[in-house]
Structure 1
Amino acid sequence: MINSIRSRQIILIGAMVLLIAFLFTRDIKGLVKPKEEPTAAVPAGGQMAPAETAVINLTEVSVTGKNLLSANLAAEITALENAYKSAPEANKAAAAKLLAQKWDDVEQAVPSALYLELMAEKEPTLNHWLSTGERFLKAFDNTRDSLLQPALLQKAHTAYTNAVKIDSASADAKTGLGITIVNGMGMPMQGIAMLMDVVKKDPKNLKANMSLGTFAMKSGQFDKAVNRFNDIIAIKPSPDAYFYLGTAYENLGKNEEAIDAYLKSKKLAGNATLSKFIDDKVKALKSKN
C-alpha cells in the first residue's frame, strides 16, 4: 500500500534537462507521473537491453526532421547535406559541424547529435566528444520514443567514454558518463559514485549536483533531494533548481515550503507557460492546507 501511494506521488524527472530553456518547444519536464510517461525498456538491474539499442539511420532521421520544417529551411539543410557529401575528406568535419548547428537551430537534437558524432569521429578531440555526448543526452531527454531512447543513450555513453579516454580527469566527461550509467548504461550506483567523485573534487559543479538531485528524486529520496537543491541554490539560484526543490518538498508533504520554492521559480523564470502551471499548482497546494 505504501509503495502504491509513493508511486503515485513520485514525479519523474528528466536527467540533465533544464526546465526553463525548452518550455516553448518541449513538454515541461518533471511534471508527469510515471504511469503516464512512456519509458525506455530498462531491465530491473538498470542496464539497457542490447537488443533495444538499434542503429539510428541518419538519412531517415533527416527526412523525418525536414518534414517538420518549412520548405525554405528544409532546402537549406538539404544544400548543407549535399555540401557535406561532396566535401573532400579534410573538410568533412567542418561540414558536419555546420549541419549540427543548423539542426540544433531548428530544435532537432537527434540529427544534430549524429552530425556532431561524425565531426568527432573525424576530429576526435575532448571538446568534440563532450559536445556530442551532451547533444545525444539532450535528444535522449526530449524523445518520447521508447525504442529510440536506448540508442541515443548508448551513443551518449560512447561519446563520453571517448572523452574520458582523452582526459580521465575531465569533470564534464565524468559527469556525462555518470549520467548515462545511472540512466541505464551500467549499474546505477556506479554512475552515482562517479558523480559523487566529481562533486567531492568540485563541490560547486552545478551539472553533477543537479544530476544527483534529480536522481535522488527519481529514487524517492526526497530529503536528500531537498539538501542537494538547497546546495545548488546557495551556489547559483535558478528557476529549475527552485522548481525541483518545490517538487521535492511537495512529495514530502511540506506544502508551505513547496509553495515558496515554486513561487521563487516563477519569479526567476518570468515565463508565461511556467507561471500558469505554478499558479495552478500553488492554488491546489493551498487548498490542502
Structure 2
Amino acid sequence: MLNSIRSKQIITIGAIVLLIGFLFTRDIKGLVKPKEDKASAPAAGQMTTDQPALINLAEVSATAKNTINASLAAEINLLENDFNAAAENDKTAFAKQLAQKWDDLEQTVPSALYLEIIASKEQNLNNWLVTGDKFMKAFDNTRDSILQPALLQKANVAYTNAMRIDSTSSDAKTGLGITIVDGMGMPMQGIAMLMDVVKKDPKNLKANMSLGTFAIKSGQFDKAIVRFTDIIAIKPSPDAYFYLATAYENMGKTTEAIDAYKNSKKLAANATLSKFIDDKVIELQRKK
C-alpha cells in the first residue's frame, strides 16, 4: 500500500500523497475499526473476483482533464483521438504515451487503466506488476468510496495475472496479498501470503509494511510495534515512524509515541503532515 524515502531529509511525492491520504480518510486516533470488525470480518466495500470491476475510461479521463490546464488537456485529447483511431495492433504505442502522460500529471486512475490495456496486449510479469502497483496507488489515493472497490479488484486481477506468469515472484505475491487484506477476500488469506513472503525475504519492506498496518487496524498494537521497529532498522521512513507512533499511542506509551511522531515529521518535511504531528504532540504532552 506507501513509498520509501530516498534520503533522511527527502521523501518522494508519492509517499507523502499516500501517507496524507491515509491520514485524512481513516480514523486518525487509532486507525482501528470497532472491535466487531476484526481480522475475520469482511472489509467495507469488499468485492469478489467474480464481480467485474467496471470503470469507464472516457469518464475517468474527462474528470481528470477538468483538473489540469487547457493546453495539457488538449495534448491528451490528441493522443486519445490517435488511440481511438488506431488499428488494434497499433493501440499499444498510444496507450503507453497516455499512461506516461497521465502519470506525469499524477492522475493515477487513467494512467492505471492505460497500463491495464498495455498489459493485456503485451502480457509479461513486469507489465502486470506495474499495472497492479498503479491501481493500488490509485486505490490508496482516492477518497471515492464507489471507485475504491473497483480499483482494488483491478489490482487484484493484475497481480493474479502476474502470479500466473511467475508464481515465485515475491512482488506479485506481496501485491496479491495486500489486495486480499484490503478487501478482496478474507484478510487472513492475504496475511498468510504476506507472511510467506517475509519468511523467505525478511527485509521485504512492502510486505512488512502491510503486515504492520494490518496489525494496527486489527488492534494488535504490540505486534505492530515490533514490526515497525524492525522496518525502521532496515530503512527508516516517515510512514513507518508514523505508524509506530500510532501503535505506541494506543498502547499508552506517550513518550515513545511523541518521539516517533517527531521522527516522522523530521523525515517527511511536509507542511501538512508537520501541522498534524505538531497538534498531535501537543495533545499527547497534555496527557502526560
TM-score normalised to structure 1 length: 0.86
Counterpart-to-counterpart distance in 1, 2:238 and 2:183: 28
Q: Cα–Cα, structure 1 residues 18 and 281, in superposed 2: closer, same or farther, change >3 Å? A: farther
Query: Is 1:129 equivalent to 2:132 in the alignment?
Result: no
TM superposition shift of 1:113: 0.6
Distance 1:283-1:127 versus aligned 2 partners, 3 A rule: same
Name stretches of at least 5 consecutive residues in structure 2 with no aligned partner: 5-10
**Alpha-carbon separation, structure 1, partners of 2:62 and 2:259:** 46
Any stretches of 5+ residues in structure 1 without a counterpart? 1-15
Higher relative contact order (CA 8 A, sep 6+): 2
Deviating runs (4+, > 6 A) in structure 1? none
| 1:56 equivalent in structure 2 | 55
1:248 aligns with 2:247: yes
Q: What corresponds to 2:8 in structure 1? A: none
1:45 aligned to 2:42?
yes
Q: Relative to 1, partners in 2 of residues 1:170 and 1:215: Cα closer, same or farther, differing over 3 Å?
A: same
Matched position secondary structure for 2:22:
coil
Q: Which stretch of structure 1 is more off in the superposition, 145-154 or 192-201? A: 145-154
What's the CA shift for 1:287?
0.8
| Superposed displacement of residue 156, structure 1 | 0.5
Do structure 1's residue 231 and structure 2's residue 225 form an aligned pair? no
Equivalent position amino acid for 2:183 in 1: G
- Structure 2 vs 1, CA of residues 219 and 161 (structure 1 numbering), >3 Å: closer, same or farther? same
How many residues were matched structurally? Answer: 270
The answer to whether the 8 A contact 2:47-2:184 is kept is no
C-alpha contact (below 8 Å) 2:53/2:154 kept by paired residues? no
> What percent identity do the matched residue pairs reach?
68
Residue 166 of structure 1 corresponds to which residue in structure 2? Answer: 165
1:256 & 1:181 partners in 2: Cα distance? Answer: 35
Residue 204 in 1 paired to residue 189 in 2? Answer: no
Equivalent residue number for residue 85 of structure 1: 84
Q: Which residues of 2 match residues 1-289 of structure 1 at below 5 A?
A: 16-18=1-3, 21-22=13-14, 23=16, 27-30=20-23, 32-33=26-27, 44-46=41-43, 48-49=46-47, 54-289=53-288
| Distance in 2 (alpha carbons) for counterparts of 1:68 and 1:225 | 38
Do 1:93 and 1:120's aligned partners in 2 also have CA atoms closer than 8 Å? no
Matched residues in 2 for 1:91 and 1:171: separation?
32
Alpha-carbon distance in 1 for matches of 2:274, 2:157: 38
Instruction: Quote how far apart the aligned CAs of 1:201 are.
Output: 0.3
- Contact in 2 for aligned 1:216/1:225 (Cα 8 Å): yes
Aligned-pair CA distance for 1:220: 0.8
1:215-268 residue CA offsets vs partner (Å, 9 max, x unmatched): 111111111111000010011111111111111111111110011111111112
CA displacement at 1:182 relative to structure 2: 0.9
What residue in structure 2 maps to residue 9 of structure 1?
none
**Cα distance in 2, alignment partners of residues 93 and 45 from structure 1:** 37
Q: TM-score, normalised by structure 2?
A: 0.86
Q: Is the 8 A contact 1:53 1:150 kept in 2?
A: no
After TM superposition, the structure 1 stretch with the greater mean CA deviation from structure 2, 116-125 or 237-246, is: 237-246
The whole-number CA distance in structure 2 between the counterparts of 1:26 and 1:183 is: 16
Say if 2:174 and 2:207, in contact at 8 Å, map to a contact too: yes
Moved more, 80-89 or 223-232: 80-89
Letter of the 1:33 partner, please give it.
D
**Could you report, residue by residue, the CA deviation over 1:151-207 in whole angstroms, capped at 9, with x for unpaired residues?**
111111100000000000000000000001111111111100000000000000000
